[in-house]
Amino acid sequence: MSTLAPWTPPAAPGPPMKSGRGKQSSPLSWRWGDRLALGFAWFAGIGLCVIAAAIVGYMGFRGIQYLRPDLLFERPALSTTQSGSGGFLDPLIGTALLTVIGVLLAVPLAIGGALWIAEYGRPTWLARVVESSIEMVAGTPDIVIALFGLSIFQLGIFAPFSFKASGGGVFGKSFIAAGAMMSLIALPPLFTATRDGLQAVPMHMREAAFALGKTRIATIRRVLLPSVRSNIATGVTLGISRIIGDTAIIVLLLGETLRLDPQGSVPGVGLLRGTGSTLTSYVYGNSPAGEGAAPQKAYAAAFVLLLFVLALNLIVDRIGRSSADATGMTVAGGIV
Amino acid sequence: MLERLRNPWPDHRAERTLGAVSCLVCALVVAMVVFVGIHAWPIFEHNGLSWLGSGGDLGRQLADMQNTTQHPPPSAYHLRAWPVVYGTLLTTGVAVVLALALSVFSSIFIVELAPARLRRIAIPVIRLLASVPSVIYGLIGILVLVPFVGNHVISGAEKESVQNVVLLTGAGLSVTVVILTVMITPIMVALICEALVSVPSSWREGAIALGVNPLRAMLAVTLRAARPAIVAALVLATARALGEAIMISMVSGSRAFSPKPVDGLVFFFEPLRTLASGIVDYHEGIGAPALGSALYAWALLLLFSAFVLSIAGYLIKLPLRKFQVRG
């Protein structure tokens, strides 16, 4: 009985437990390695932003310095001086024309493929093959796609799409050829955006449509396509920004002629069969790497190109904002 | 009649049409391999796989190829393309390693360290960097960086030390690698950020509760969980760097020269040529059968590496599903 310890009064209650933030761990108390890593993380993150700002700032400075409004409405001319070589109306038209052809060809392919994968997708092995082949198209360098286009459009049966060269062979370089290959460039982002949109549509929307007696294809047309409109718009915008930024295909497949060079007598078709240039090939041709060596013109055209890219980025941002997730990186996958 | 107009497609025909459209894409990929392969075949026929090796002066071999007639003798197909293969491996390898370090740490910065306001700026800015056309990078490189390196970084003594072998203008390995790194880093940042965000934050909070400092918790827990995504980003960036043609053709000096590490500092300024930029440089001569075949062989090599990378990317993405990361 006496082994019981004498009763001691409980210690005075301490201050109440603090709620909220505890003591912050200060980087000053960290190990050297961690501090170094912290510093490098700040350096890398801010460095990237600074590089981007420097590029846009420098191009903007040069662009405003050299861009005169009449450059946009003047046709380019062959000249040895920078003042005599005209503007870049033809490359602008070329860019617009190629964008239209590329998107027109890519949209049915990509959306059809995405619909089939997301809504039908049987047999499964075929669906997997289709999906991985689109991934392969996405991973193929544009220069390889350009060579592929050249080898196809130089076939005899594709002569109507370009024209016969003087030697009798098919030239294989035209707006149609370049536009067809551009559609391959625009295909993967468009496909991915549409497929992801379709997969995000809740199942009960489809079930409701089926319950109302709609067939699958009617559901697609009346319910699914309208609800993934913003995804398709994002995909198209990403596709356009890839098309207007591509140079390798233009250099190999559009012939890089200074002016639009229609072939044959039919007005519209002749233009499509002919060669030309775009903003990117104009920049390339006028840089010291090409034969033009007119850096002022190159800067001005590159500035216009950069403005287009900026505008397309803003559009993607606008469309994506409604469905942005925590990071706002929803369309990041589409970049690549 | 009205019903037919409103619903022109019966279901089974729609399925078949959409399936055919999808198969068209597969057919295009097959056609790409077949066509590039057919055109590349003469090089493989005459050289086997040894055209990947070194030997002789590549520039002279290509010039000889360009000067042959429409029906070249078998000797015209002689090709030893090691300098361009080496140039591709060198630029891609160095740029990818640099971009990996940069992108991992800047993703940590964006996801974890940056103040909210800076984060809001940083994300669109990085997305913009990813979508700047390569010709603009090339233009800045050739008009700004190359003259700067040529005039201020390379000393006269360095130029003289190799003047009998190669002319140092500033265009070369260092400028190429720097621009290539800037080009591929944003792609990796976008993918790594996405993965870092999708790792459950409770994992990291658990580590912090055990007394680990926040940065180390990020490195040890979140980054480790996102490892598959990082490798996937690496694969994608490698594919992009391998295929970059225009920018490299503008700033690399475009000489089939292998930069030699034994040259010391000069190594970083020596010109080079990669597979993709070589195709751009020689595209005018593609009409000559031998040269055309050589270019298609380079394209086939690029295509093959793209396929290997694509398969690797697929295999790596399998465990990613665990975190519901779509990539």
3-state SS track over A292-312? CCCHHHHHHHHHHHHHHHHHH
Instruction: Give tens-digit pLDDT for B253-275.
Output: 877 778 877 777 788 888 888 99
Nearest to A34 among B24, B130, B213 (CB): B213
What is the average pLDDT score of chain B?
A: 85
Q: Dihedral through CA B138, CA B139, CA B142, CA B144, nearest 10?
A: -120
Q: For chain B, give the percent of residues with pLDDT over 70.
A: 95
In a domain, B64, yes or no: no
In a domain, B103, yes or no: yes
What pLDDT shows up at residue B212? 85
What pLDDT shows up at residue B324? 52
Tell me how far apart the alpha carbons of residues B246 and B254 are, in angstroms, rounded to a whole number.
11
Residue A264 corresponds to which amino acid?
G
DSSP B195-225: HHHHS-HHHHHHHHHTT--HHHHIIIIIHHH
Instruction: Give tens-digit pLDDT for B122-177.
Output: 888 888 888 899 999 999 999 999 889 888 888 877 777 777 777 778 788 899 99
What pLDDT shows up at residue B76? 80
Spell out the domain ranges in chain A.
50-76+84-335
In a domain, B196, yes or no: yes
- Flag the least confident range among A170-184, B49-63, B108-122: B49-63
Q: What is the mean pLDDT of residues B43-47?
A: 87
Nearest to B314 among A132, A142, A283 (CB): A132
- pLDDT band for B34, please (50, 70, 90 cuts): very high
Q: Between vectors from CA B209 to CA B208 and to CA B211, what angle results, nearest 5°?
A: 70
- pLDDT band for B326, please (50, 70, 90 cuts): very low
Task: Say yes or no for a CB contact (<8 Å) between B194 and A329.
Answer: yes
Tell me how far apart the alpha carbons of residues A175 and B293 are, in angstroms, rounded to a whole number.
25
> A50-76+84-335: which CATH number, 3.40.1010.10, 1.10.3720.10, 3.40.30.10, 3.90.1860.10?
1.10.3720.10
Q: By the 8 A CB rule, do B141 and B253 touch?
A: no
Phi and psi based region of residue A81 (left: phi greater than 0; alpha: psi -120 to 50; beta: remaining): beta
Rounded to the nearest angstrom, the minimum Cα separation between B75 and chain A is 24
Asked if A155 reaches chain B (Cβ–Cβ under 8 Å), the answer is no
Tell me how far apart the alpha carbons of residues A219 and A327 are, in angstroms, rounded to a whole number.
33
What is the chain B residue with the closest CA to A180? Answer: B28
- Flag the least confident range among A94-98, A205-209, B18-22, B65-69: B65-69
Q: Could you tell me the CATH number of the domain that includes residue B149?
A: 1.10.3720.10
Tell me how far apart the alpha carbons of residues B112 and B31 are, in angstroms, rounded to a whole number.
46
3-state secondary structure of A44: helix
Nearest to B36 among A126, A133, A148 (CB): A148
Rounded to the nearest angstrom, the minimum Cα separation between A134 and chain B is 7
Tell me how far apart the alpha carbons of residues A177 and A259 are, in angstroms, rounded to a whole number.
17
What pLDDT shows up at residue A11? 66
Task: Say yes or no for a CB contact (<8 Å) between A34 and B280.
Answer: no
In a domain, B180, yes or no: yes
Query: Model-level pTM?
Result: 0.87
- pLDDT band for B121, please (50, 70, 90 cuts): confident
Task: Say yes or no for a CB contact (<8 Å) between A44 and B22.
Answer: no
Show residues of chain A in contact with B219, CB under 8 Å: 37
What pLDDT shows up at residue B141? 92
More confident residue, B277 or B321: B277
Q: What is the mean pLDDT of residues B85-91?
A: 92
Q: What is the mean pLDDT of residues B309-326?
A: 70
In a domain, B32, yes or no: no
What pLDDT shows up at residue A1? 46
Asked if A210 reaches chain B (Cβ–Cβ under 8 Å), the answer is no
Show residues of chain B in contact with A51, CB under 8 Å: 129, 182
Task: Say yes or no for a CB contact (<8 Å) between A298 and B28.
Answer: no
How many other CB atoms are found less than 10 A from the CB of residue B297? 25
Q: What is the number of structural domains in chain B?
A: 1
What pLDDT shows up at residue B321? 61
Phi and psi based region of residue A265 (left: phi greater than 0; alpha: psi -120 to 50; beta: remaining): alpha
Task: Say yes or no for a CB contact (<8 Å) between B193 and A327.
Answer: yes
Rounded to the nearest angstrom, the minimum Cα separation between B214 and chain A is 8
In a domain, B107, yes or no: yes
Please give the residue range of the domain that contains residue B310.
82-323
What pLDDT shows up at residue B3? 61
Q: By the 8 A CB rule, do B91 and B259 touch?
A: no
Segments of chain A scoring below 70 in pLDDT:
1-25, 79-83, 165-168, 265, 292, 322-336
b/e sequence A41-57, b meaning 16+ C-beta within 10 Å: bbebbebbbebbeebbe
